[in-house]
Amino acid sequence: MKNTAFTDFHMKLGARMQPFAGFNMPVEYSGINDEHITVREKAGVFDVSHMGEFRVKGPGAAGFLQYITTNDITRLTDGMVQYSCFPNGKGGIIDDLLVYRFSQENFMLVVNAANIEKDWNWCAGHAGEHGLAVGTDLYNASDEISLLAVQGPHALRVMQKLIDEPVEDMKFHTFRELSIAGIKKAVFSTTGYTGAGGCEIYVANEDGPALWNAIFEAGREFGIKPAGLGARDTLRLEMGFCLYGNDIDETTSPIEAGLGWITKFTDNNEFIDKELLLKQKKEGTHRKLVGFILRERGIPRLHYEIADNDHNIIGNVTSGTMSPMMKTGIGMGYVKSAFAREGTEINILIRNKSIRAEVVRPPLYKEKKH
């Protein structure tokens, strides 16, 4: 089992550790609800160094990514980040990912920890078709990079104390290469998986501990806290963000998963499964991924059945929890398309009891504006 550059910090802080995707990762420190609320209201720090990073370089880089991902790479300019997915050639999803453009011939892919080997093999298998040499033009840097996500309404204010150039007004899904707290080579990205705003910072492993210490020192006045994978999951679920392995996988298409917005059917975008997914978009799919909120007490869990008001089974829960902000059960799941419209009443079967729920368009948690 692998450790990250921050494992000693987690242990000293008394985090509850658990194996995840081959890494020894913190699940919680002060408690999932406390960490969740801290991220929503102040700022929290996640160790997400288990994520994978592939570098893609050379004249064939853009064409390679245009073919292997569903989104349109031509819409990226230098310093932009794009959410996308790898289609698997059968209508399913190998993984969802972020694409960073450094230049027309220099990109970075950020993939899910549990899928690093699978994703690498898939990319390496297609690299030669676009003139990319595996190991040089396509390079797996996953074991060399440490990654911290600083998330919450005060996150960028914390980081501004450590960065000489202005970053608080950076647009969402953009990035810069800059110096942070004396660390000269860092990638600072306004991305995250919480819906609370903030950033993610990529540094070399040897710079990880210095980055951690600087962030917590700078964030003290803002009430910053470390947060674990438990809060990361509840935060993303309140936003209705897909989790690979639960809400999307090799058997789900981006169209039925509500990811049509990252599936661009443009003339210059000839990607794997384009014709199949275009057919789904035009003709519809028999099921769709929806978000829902319980209207009675209960907590939905993975694999719970979903029924209509006549007790017919219409789907299954793929993610569920008790929302720390809403104090009610929320979840996501696939239902027959006829029941996917917002406001539709559905029922979650919890311990042989039918619990009323309502289909809601994400985000499930809508922050009140003061």
Residue ranges of domains in the chain, CATH in brackets: 7-48+144-238 (3.30.1360.120), 286-363 (2.40.30.110)
Does residue 343 come out as left (phi exceeding 0), alpha (psi in the -120 to 50 range) or beta? left
Q: What is the CA radius of gyration of the chain?
A: 21
> What Cα–Cα distance (Å) separates residue 129 from each residue in 21, 65, 68, 78, 125?
30, 12, 11, 25, 9
Rounded CA gap, 119 and 198, in Å? 27
**Of 99, 96, 113, the residue nearest 56 (C-alpha):** 99
The CA distance from 124 to 64, in Å, is 11
Q: Give the CA angle between residues 95, 99, 103 to the nearest 5°.
A: 155
Contact 282, 125 (CB under 8 A): no
Residues near 9 by beta carbon (within 8 Å), at least 6 away in sequence: 209, 212, 226
CA dihedral 369, 35, 109, 282 (to 10 degrees): -50
- Are 25 and 82 in contact by the 8 Å Cβ rule? The answer is no
CB under 8 Å to 63, separation ≥6 — which residues? Answer: 130
CB 214 within 8 A of CB 159: no
Q: How far apart, in whole angstroms, are the C-alpha atoms of residue 332 and residue 242?
A: 9
**pLDDT tens across the length of the chain (370 residues):** 999 999 999 999 999 999 999 999 999 999 999 999 999 999 999 999 999 999 999 999 999 999 999 999 999 999 999 999 999 999 999 999 999 999 999 999 999 999 999 999 999 999 999 999 999 999 999 999 999 999 999 999 999 999 999 999 999 999 999 999 999 999 999 999 999 999 999 999 999 999 999 999 999 999 999 999 999 999 999 999 999 999 999 999 999 999 999 999 999 899 999 999 999 999 999 999 999 999 999 999 999 999 999 999 999 999 999 999 999 999 999 999 999 999 999 999 999 899 999 999 999 998 765 4
